[in-house]
């Protein structure tokens, strides 16, 4: 078991190195720091001196891989690759274009993100499973058919519509909740309700329909027939046997996203003015702040790999076949 975990962690290292190299190539090789400086300075102010000054100010005034000027180890270590890419492994993200420390910003902004993402995830999971179970319980009836139709319609609506519609109806028209904003602590709950509701609803169609197929797949298995042959009621069959077994793919499929909840949702946070990591990222993209984007890409990959690890662990927790073999 321990060996298994250690092996999975070791397996993650080459992937992170791959991500690192890829982003480095994207940000420094395809586009040189000179290009970046030109964009930031704007067409009018581009002079060779201005470019050099911008590069020095933002720490881009080094060679990519090999520093001729330095001595000894410095030849390799005092380079952009080490400075901007390898240091990510130590979670040292450097500074944003406005001079603030990215790591500190992340530490502060992840909490508002979590405040939205975690409840959305939990409430959503329960809502989707319940809705799917209801459809399965009434399978092959008009209720089931209507449920599927609702799912397909919900799936076909752009997520942006839910946000705008929700803000208009609940915020502007009915004044139930503020349209947007954020406040830390319990008083801020009123700001969270709408984003959470919108987050849950926008995933409802897709997920419930998927879970329904999982349940239906399980319901046609031989052991479910055995359970019925034992004389169990339909409810007992559904909850104990079908749900019990279908929960394995559902839970393990859900676990993979848990670490990434920290990153928040780009769209939700930006629309609702939540000062989380999602809106941080979107602002960075719009301001073309490459340092932040690079940091978020790396962080996202780390969290994804963590999610994969958690998935494997959750399998061993819920499935005796994996646990005991």
Report the residue number, 75 or 228, with the smaller CB distance to another protein.
228
Query: Cα–Cα distance between 121 and 135 in angstroms, integer?
Result: 21
Minimum CB–partner distance for residue 49 and another protein (Å): 18
Least Cβ distance, residue 223 to another protein (angstroms): 4
Q: Which two tokens mark 222?
A: 């031989």
**Distance, CA of 81 to CA of 161 (rounded, Å):** 42
Closest CA to 202 of 251, 153, 261, 249: 153
- Distance in Å, CB of 15 to another protein, minimum: 5
d(CA 226, CA 220): 11
Q: Pick between residue 46 and residue 70 the one whose CB is nearest to another protein.
A: 46
Residue 242 CB, nearest approach to another protein (Å):
10
If the CB atoms of residues 14 and 185 are measured against another protein, the closer one turns out to be 14
Question: What is the closest distance, in whole angstroms, from the C-beta atom of residue 159 to another protein in the complex?
Answer: 7
User: How does 43-69 read in b/e, with b if 16+ C-beta sit within 10 Å?
Assistant: eeeeeeeebeebbeebebebeeeebee
Residues near 184 by Cβ (< 8 Å), separated by ≥ 6?
Answer: 111, 112
- Residue 324 backbone phi and psi in degrees, to 5: -95, -5
- Give whichever of 76 and 164 is closer to another protein, judged by the CB atom: 164
| Nearer to another protein among residue 281 and residue 314 (C-beta) | 281
Strand partners, 95: 101
């Amino acid at each position: 078991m321990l060996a298994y975990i250690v092996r999975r962690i070791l397996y993650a290292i080459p992937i992170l190195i791959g991500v690192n190299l890829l982003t480095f190539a994207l940000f420094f090789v395809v586009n040189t720091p000179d290009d970046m400086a030109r964009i930031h300075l704007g067409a009018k102010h581009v002079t060779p001196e201005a470019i050099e000054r911008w590069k020095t100010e933002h720490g881009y005034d080094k060679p990519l891989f090999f520093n001729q000027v330095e001595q000894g180890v410095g030849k390799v270590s005092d380079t952009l690759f080490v400075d901007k890419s390898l240091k990510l492994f130590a979670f040292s993200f450097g500074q944003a274009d406005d001079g603030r420390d990215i790591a500190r910003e992340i530490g502060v902004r992840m909490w508002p993100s979590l405040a939205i993402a975690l409840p959305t995830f939990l409430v959503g999971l329960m809502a989707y499973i319940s809705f799917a179970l209801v459809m399965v319980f009434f399978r092959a009836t008009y209720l089931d058919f209507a449920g599927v139709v609702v799912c397909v319609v919900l799936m076909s609506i752009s997520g942006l519509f839910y946000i705008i519609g929700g803000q208009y109806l609940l915020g502007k028209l009915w004044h139930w909740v503020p349209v947007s904003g954020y406040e830390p602590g319990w008083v801020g709950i009123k700001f969270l309700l709408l984003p959470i509701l919108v987050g849950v609803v926008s995933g409802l169609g897709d997920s419930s329909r998927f879970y329904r197929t999982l349940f239906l797949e399980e319901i046609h298995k031989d052991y479910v027939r055995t359970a019925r042959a034992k004389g169990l009621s339909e409810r007992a069959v559904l909850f104990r046997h079908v749900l019990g077994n279908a929960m394995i793919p559902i839970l393990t499929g859900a676990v993979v996203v848990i670490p990434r909840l920290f990153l928040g949702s780009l769209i939700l946070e930006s629309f609702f003015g939540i000062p989380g990591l999602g809106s941080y990222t979107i602002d960075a993209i719009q301001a073309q702040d490459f340092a932040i984007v690079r940091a978020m890409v790396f962080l996202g990959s780390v969290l994804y790999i963590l999610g994969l690890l958690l998935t494997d662990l959750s399998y061993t927790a819920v499935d005796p076949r994996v646990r005991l073999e």
